[in-house]
Amino acid sequence: DTEVTQTPKHLVMGMTNKKSLKCEQHMGHRAMYWYKQKAKKPPELMFVYSYEKLSINESVPSRFSPECPNSSLLNLHLHALQPEDSALYLCASSQAWAAQETQYFGPGTRLLVL
């Protein structure tokens, strides 16, 4: 199984809503990542989890709250988002947070904030 799954595929939310994005992998990977990608732009790193601990937070606003409940799951909790947060949110995993490790990406969640 070399797949990273993400749910939901699409999400529309208002600025006062609370929602969560979910990412799952069963490859035994110990590093997981959240990226944000705006249209026609490259992915931008948001968070890195290594062995279920937050290792990197790229100065992401607190309205995005990551959670890694176990080694297979990564959540991104969303609250009080702004329209400019509309984007494709990509999850990835790798064997470890280390050099020369291929990252495997999920299909993404397309988020629209109204």
* Residue ranges binding other proteins (CB under 8 A): 4, 6, 40-43, 45, 48, 56, 88, 90, 92, 97-108, 110
The letter for the amino acid at 46 is: M
Shorter beta-carbon distance to other proteins: residue 11 or 90: 90
> Would you call 46 helix, strand, or coil by DSSP?
strand
Q: How far is the CB of 38 from other proteins (least distance, A)?
A: 11
Q: How far is the CB of 80 from other proteins (least distance, A)?
A: 26
Residue (of 58, 29, 43, 54) closest to 88 by Cα position: 43
Shorter beta-carbon distance to other proteins: residue 16 or 53: 53
Q: How far is the CB of 13 from other proteins (least distance, A)?
A: 18
Residue in the block written with tokens 């397309």: 110
Specify burial of residue 10 (Cβ count, 10 A radius: 0-12, 13-18, 19+).
exposed
